[in-house]
Amino acid sequence: MSGTDIAAPALPPIIAVFNHKGGVAKTTTAANLATCLAAFGLKVVLIDLDAQGNATAGFGVLPLPAVGSYDVLLGNSEIEPVLAASGFPGLSLLPATTDLRLAELQLATDEHSHLQLRKSLTEHHLSRWADIAVIDCPPSLGMVTANALTAASHVVIPARPDPYTHEGLVNTWHEIKRLKETVNSRLTVAGILLTMVTGDATETDVARTMRAEFGDMVYKVMVETDPKVVEAAQAGVPVVVLDPDGGSGRAYVAATLELLTRLAAGQPLPDGFNQDSVLNTLRDWRARLPALQRRPTESEAWAAVPKAWDDAEPHDDWTPERLTPAEPARKFTMGWLAGAFLAGLALGAGLALTIAG
């Protein structure tokens, strides 16, 4: 074990969404997993570390803000001042900024700079704002991604079932194993999610090969190609909110349930952690969205103009409790999550190393 490895800090579970290869729906996966986790009643922070800022823009935050994840990454800002509202209860954004382009060079000057994000999130008490966090990583293994994987407790790998992505998946797996052995002993692979599936014969063969190689690490659910994903990006909302009952919407809900089951490491999920309850919450959020409208930006992107939930026009049956879990329930959920997290680290680490070997 490297001398740079440090004891596990007081952080909530952090899920890095990463694949060395681009074009695998990495950002879409990160944004929709984070949204579904919030729909389960958890406090979630989505950390956008990709300089392209697509996860941030995917919630209608355009142009990118002046301060955000770059400032927290380099230790120049606390978390609270730069958190941005997502427009959905329980979910906050640590947004990308254009300065993230400079982070690679700035981090390269210190041999221990891969620890910077973990240090900042710990010192600035991420656990105050999140029961669980999701990181959208850049599609390359540079210093920013190394920081994300060093801070993370788990990594989800989205992968398309095609020959080129299969090769990238193998390389990604070995890089994660290397980081686990050198700088982050607690890092566990929380599964491989097949994305952008069209169902043609070649994809079916590659998916079968992936399942043969990686076994149960591949999620049972697959996310099919869905035009609603593009529509959601243009509208500035996650597809699980725009179309919760569509193919991608339901797939990401099922994937989130599978993720939580993996984190639980054999413990039963709390009451209410089921697909129907989450779909009902997402449907309610969809019904409460303000009218989607075109908002001019530098890129002329389409975006929703999220209205604060407290200012939304109430329905006849409006009650805050329908959107925000009661405090006793949230405390129970947090207690379950903490116990499941510790159990998952113990069991999942051994499983990941066994399969990776």
pLDDT, one tens digit per residue, over 6-64 is 444 489 999 999 998 889 999 999 999 999 999 999 999 999 999 999 999 999 998 99
Nearest to 232 by CA among 44, 17, 16, 32: 32
| The two structure tokens encoding residue 300 | 């002329």
By percentage, how much of the chain surpasses pLDDT 70? 79
- In this structure, what is the dihedral angle of CA atoms 134, 136, 139, 140, given to the nearest 10 degrees? -70
Model confidence, pTM: 0.83
Tokens 């994840």 belong to residue = 69
From residue 208, give the alpha-carbon distance in Å to each of 81, 195, 201, 213: 46, 14, 11, 9
Radius of gyration of the chain (CA): 19
Secondary-structure percent of the chain, ordered helix, strand, coil, rounded to 5 = 50, 15, 40
Q: What are 180-212's pLDDT values in tens digits?
A: 999 999 999 999 999 999 989 999 999 999 999
Q: What are 134-180's pLDDT values in tens digits?
A: 999 998 889 999 999 999 999 999 999 998 888 888 889 999 999 99
The predicted structure's pLDDT at residue 334: 59
Asked if pLDDT for residue 292 goes beyond 60, the answer is: no
> Class assignment of domain 14-311+324-356?
alpha beta
Q: What single string gives the DSSP state of each residue in 206-253?
A: HHHHHHHHHGGGEEEEEEE--HHHHHHHHHTS-HHHH-TTSHHHHHHH
| The two structure tokens encoding residue 21 | 């290869």
State CA 150 to chain mean position distance.
Answer: 15
Where residue 272 falls among pLDDT bands split at 50, 70, 90? confident
Average pLDDT over residues 329-345: 57
Instruction: Give the 3-state secondary structure of residue 270.
Output: coil
Alpha-carbon span 115 to 3, nearest angstrom: 12
Asked if pLDDT for residue 294 goes beyond 70, the answer is: no
Give the mean pLDDT of the chain. 83
The predicted structure's pLDDT at residue 311: 35
The predicted structure's pLDDT at residue 352: 44
Strand boundaries in the chain, DSSP class E: 14-17, 44-48, 84-85, 91-94, 132-136, 154-159, 188-197, 218-224
The predicted structure's pLDDT at residue 269: 86
- In this structure, what is the dihedral angle of CA atoms 62, 64, 65, 70, given to the nearest 10 degrees? 150
Alpha-carbon span 185 to 188, nearest angstrom: 8
Q: What single string gives the DSSP state of each residue in 132-181?
A: EEEEE--SS-SHHHHHHHHH-SEEEEEE-SSHHHHHHHHHHHHHHHHHHH
Alpha-carbon span 323 to 282, nearest angstrom: 10
Domain residue spans of the chain: 14-311+324-356
Alpha-carbon span 326 to 127, nearest angstrom: 19
Average pLDDT over residues 338-349: 55
